[in-house]
Each structure stands twice: as structure tokens, then as C-alpha cells.
Structure 1
Amino acid sequence: MTETAPVLEILYQDDVLVAVNKPAGMLVHRSWLDRHETRFVMQTLRDQLGGQHVFPLHRLDRPTSGVLLFALSSEMAAEMMPKFAGREVKKTYHAVVRGWVKEAAVLDYPLKEELDKLDDKRTDQDKAPQEAVTAYWPLATVETQIPVGRYATSRYSLVEMKPETGRKHQLRRHMHHLSHHIIGDVNHGDGRHNRMFREHYDCHRLMLHASALEFIHPVSGQPLRIRADVDDSWLRVMDAFDWPLSLLTQAPEEN
């Protein structure tokens, strides 16, 4: 039986750029680490656009969903990539994390580069930790009557995050450093809470979503903000915790 090809939600498209809402669990492109995977955002998008080549301008980890931006030519990619490196593109993420995040803050905590055994085998193994900065805000909290571990109840927060740098797994590792592990993170999270979300909320994904990208359009010179809505897993959790969806679209100071 042939597997039906997924259809990507196109969030924005013009003559030079296209953005999609990447589903959680889908690779951006082929990787030696997932040699048996057959579905990739790049190939799927190219097919949807009638064979148009696309050039990814940044990356989202496989388990992360949300806004993913592509250039439609190598020339536009070459123009846009420095804007990401130069922090001219503002990224907004939302996450559900363990515990109550009580106040907004900026975490400046350098991260040692995480290396993949195959993809990064030629990379310097002794590189010094790199600058990593994340601003974050608590948007909502909840306390459930479901015991996890030795506690009779369990507490969670909805947070908004704006990374000022783009280190590998930065948001997951920064939340781990704060002991506010992102739900569904199998590498840096807490397996007991991940299991509870699977069993009680049918949530089998990393609860990290790239909600928006903001930048100056390279051709028009006008500000552009591209948003991506959350998926069904997010909707179930938001509903179970009685968190309004408007929390995902308002600026933190408006909440």
C-alpha cells in the first residue's frame, strides 16, 4: 500500500520566499541519522510547488513544529542567510514546560556544541562553549491532580521564548538548565512527565512550536511577520488546561 504524501500548509509565498508550517516529527531534509525516513519537508514542498527548488534558510529540529522559511533561489538564500546569522530575523516559540515559571527573564548560558556521531565526526570535539541567549516569559500556569513521581499534583507552565542566538537544541537545553524541561523532550526532558502527557492527554510530541518569524522583506523593504497555528496535540493540551488560544498570539506584555 503506497503511503499518501503529506500536504504542507503554506503560510506565506511570493516570488522569492515561501514559508510552511512544519509538522512535528518531519525532517527538513535527508540525514544520515535517519536513513530509513522517506518524508522530508524540502522534497514535499518542492513537489507541491510543481518542482520548484527551495533552499532552507534556517532549521527546525525534527520534533519541533512551526514556521519554516525557504528561499526560491540560491541568490535569495545567499542574501537572506546572513540576516539569520546577524540576528535580523526575530523568532518566537511557545512551549509547555514542567513546573511553574514565575517571572520573565533572559538566560545567558553558553552551550557546548552538541555533536552527532556521524554528521559531526570531523568537527572539533573540544570547542569551547558558545554564547547562547534566550529571553522567556511565563504566559499561564496550571496544577493538575495527576501525581507524577513523589508529588500528589503536577505543575506546568506555558512559556513564550525568543532565542537571541541559534545554538543546536538551545531552547530545550536552556529549559533543562532551569529545571523547566519541555514536555515531550526525550533527550533533555523528564520521562515521567512525558509519559503522563502521553497517557492522559494523548500527547506524543515535543511541546515546542515555532510560532512566528519577523523580518524586513529583502525586496519590498517592508516588515513581515509570518505566524503558524498549533496542531491537534497542542489544542488538546490547551483545552485540558483551560488555556485560551489567544495566549499564543498576544505579546507577553498583553497577557
Structure 2
Amino acid sequence: MQSTDASPPDATAAGLPLLYCDDDLLVVNKPPALAAHRSNLVGDDDDYLIDRLRRQVGGSLYLAHRLDRATSGALVVARSTAVATEIGRQLMDRSVEKAYLAVVRGWPDETGTIDHPLTGSSLKGAPKPAVTHWRRLARVELPIPMGRYPQQRYSLLEVQPQTGRYQQIRRHFAHISHHLVGDTTHGRGDHNRLFRIHWAMHRLLLHAWRVGFTHPVSGQRVAVSAPLDASWNRILDTFGWQSAIAGAAPKTDPHG
């Protein structure tokens, strides 16, 4: 099967950035702080990604998977329930590649796996299996005293969740005390404040960087990377991490 690393049909078009678009599905680069759809978890907002997309591209649209409101990056949206169902089946079969970028406190090992069951979005009921893998791309030590430490340490990780539980990445890294920077629910308020004060960072540093799946209609393998926004790039520039991102980016051949 052919691998496709596609560009949007019109990268300059106004509206949400489309990373891939055809007659069956599209992949959008979701901005942070925008809820994907109406939910009891996000309150009574009047602005949702799925509504913006319907106005932008027209027709019926269905979310093939979910991203937390605070998370940015690649989100797959189907143009039919059949395509959405097939993407969902691939997610259940774990044949969808999902890779995230995250900034965490501390210096975790170069590679690792968190195998820790989690409850669902209601935080009730029996926990279900949840597995997250990571690879450390870069780290930094900053001469900023806080608490009993004269320096603060942070790491840039590539994270690959094997399962898709509610806020899995955020909850898993909190579980091993490497909290995500900017996480106001499971994170550390002191480190979040440090990033706000020094770098005007008011968001969760978690980004759905890559998604890969088999196209439900054509059978081709679709691989899409979501560019980072200005706030992310500001942190990468400040910490000297741009080369780590460039080195970790996949080398794809659009012709398979």
C-alpha cells in the first residue's frame, strides 16, 4: 500500500488548518483551548471545532476520535458514519499510529512505558488497562530556584499511547511524577506558574504531532504531521530544542 504524507488542497485558505482533505475524510490541526464538540465536560461554550469545520468545508462531518480541549494537533474527521466507524475500528485494533509531543517536569529515562489502569471520563467504575510509551528527545536544566531546588529540569518527550483512555497521557505522567507543563488538572501549579511568568505560556504543552492510519476507502496508508504553533516554537527556541524536533521528525516518501 502507498503511504501518503499529504498537504491541504489550499494551505492558504482561511479557517482551521487542514493537513489532509479528500472526499472521505480530513485531518485538521486543532488549536489549543478549542473543544472538539459539545460535551458535558466542556460546559456551555458557543464555539466548537466541529461546527467551525462544517461552516468551512460544508457537508456532514463526524469526529473519528477525540482530543482533549487543552490539547492541540492532528484530529481525524470523517465525512460519513461508515468512515468514522472504520477509523474507530482501527483505533480499537491499535493499528493507528499516534505520536504526541509533551513537555514534562524532570528528567525521565530516555525511553519507558507506563502500564497503569485508568478509569473513564466519569472517573468512576473499574479501571481499564492503559499503556503509554515515551522517548525522550531533549532535556534542559534552568538556573531558576524554586522551592528547595536551585535549578529546574524539564524534558521534551515523544509519547505514543497504546490505549486511548480519558486524559491518559496527562494522568499517566502525573502518576510517575513527571507532570505535563501547563496541565491545570493533573499538573503542578508551581511549574505552570514558572512557565507563565518567564515565557508567557498559558497552555498545556501537549500536541498530537503525528497520526497514521489506513484510508478506509482507498486502502492507502495516510501519514500526517501537525506543525507546532508559535507558543510551542517559542519554548523550543528558548530551550534549544528545535534540532531535537527536526531529528525526530519522520522521513517519509510520498510515493511509498
Same fold (TM over 0.5): yes
User: In 2, are the aligned partners of 1:94 and 1:248 still within 8 Å (CA)?
Assistant: no
Q: Matches of 2:41 and 2:164 in 1, distance apart? A: 21
Moved over 2 A (4+): 31-36
Q: How does 1:223-234 map to 2 (within 5 A)?
A: 223-234=221-232
Aligned to 1:120: none
Could you tell me which amino acid in structure 1 is paired with residue 202 of structure 2? H
State whether structure 2 residue 77 is matched by structure 1 residue 92: no
Deviation, structure 1 residue 249: 6.3
User: Which residue of the partner structure matches residue 38 of structure 2?
Assistant: 30
Rounded Cα–Cα distance in structure 2 between residues aligned with 1:174 and 1:33: 20
TM superposition shift of 1:251 = 5.5
Residues of 2 paired with 1:114 and 1:44: CA distance? 25
Q: Could you say which residue in structure 2 is the equivalent of 1:122? A: none
1:199 match: 197
TM-score, normalising length: structure 1: 0.88
Give the gaps of 5 or more residues in structure 2.
Answer: 1-13, 251-256
RCO higher in 1 or 2 (8 Å CA, sep ≥ 6)?
2
Percent identity among equivalent residues? Answer: 46
Tell me the secondary structure at the aligned position of residue 172 of structure 2. Answer: helix
Give the SS at the match of 1:32. coil
Give runs of aligned pairs for residues 55-74 of structure 1, distance below 5 A. 55-74=62-81
Matches within 5 A, 1:1-255: 7-49=15-57, 51-115=58-122, 125=124, 127-244=125-242, 247=245, 250=248
Q: Is the 8 A contact 2:214 2:221 kept in 1?
A: yes
Which of 23-32 and 202-211 deviates more?
Answer: 23-32
**TM-score, normalising length: structure 2:** 0.88
Bigger CA drift: 185-194 or 211-220? 211-220
Cα distance change, pair 251–10 in 1 and its aligned pair in 2 (3 A): closer
**Aligned residues of 1:57 and 1:70 also touching (Cα < 8 A):** yes
Contact 1:149 1:192 in 2 (8 A): no
| Counterpart residue type for residue 172 of structure 1 | R
SS of 2:248's partner is: coil
Counterpart amino acid of 2:23? D
- Which region of structure 1 is more displaced relative to structure 2, 6-15 or 177-186? 6-15
Contact 2:138–2:244 (Cα < 8 Å) also in 1: no
Which residue type is aligned with residue 43 of structure 1? Answer: D
Between the aligned partners of 2:217 and 2:133, the Cα distance in structure 1 is 29
